[in-house]
């Protein structure tokens, strides 16, 4: 079931997908996805409304100052880039919604819905691991 979703500037494509699908998880970044989700190779016949799909093309890890200590020392952490997720909104036509900062000026976040035929094919469907 899909949920009404309001985004903030602090959201990411991952937090948007979790809000939209009502997914409750401890996962907060792309680094942790494999702890909580199985990566099922994408096949259009397997998708259902509410599935989270993942594009993983040209994934790379950049290191960025993400933490500052009491003494002012900055600690860098790895951040995965070129990973993106969306939510299947409809099967016929195949529509996917996602959260992006790439289409608005000043990287203002926005939600968009696109036909899957207008995007690159996702690499995976994320399925919640059973506890």
Q: Say yes or no to pLDDT of 59 above 90.
A: no
Decide if 114 contacts 95 (C-beta within 8 A). Answer: yes
Report the pLDDT value the prediction gives residue 8, as an integer from 0 to 100: 94
76-118 per-position pLDDT tens digit: 998 877 889 999 999 999 999 999 998 888 889 999 999 999 9
Q: Say yes or no to pLDDT of 42 above 90.
A: yes
pTM: 0.87
Mean pLDDT of 8-32: 91
* Chain-centre distance for alpha carbon 67: 23
């Amino acid at each position: 079931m899909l949920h009404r979703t309001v985004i903030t500037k602090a959201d990411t494509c991952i937090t948007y997908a979790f809000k939209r699908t009502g997914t409750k998880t401890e996962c907060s970044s792309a680094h942790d996805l494999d702890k909580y989700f199985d990566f099922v190779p994408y096949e259009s016949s397997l998708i259902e409304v509410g599935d989270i799909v993942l594009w993983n093309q040209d994934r790379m890890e950049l290191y960025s100052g993400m933490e500052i200590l009491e003494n002012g020392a900055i600690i860098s952490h790895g951040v995965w880039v070129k990973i993106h997720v969306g939510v299947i909104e409809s099967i016929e036509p195949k529509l996917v919604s996602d959260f992006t900062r790439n289409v608005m000026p000043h990287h203002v976040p926005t939600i968009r819905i696109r036909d899957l035929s207008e995007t690159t094919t996702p690499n995976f469907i994320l399925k919640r691991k059973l506890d």
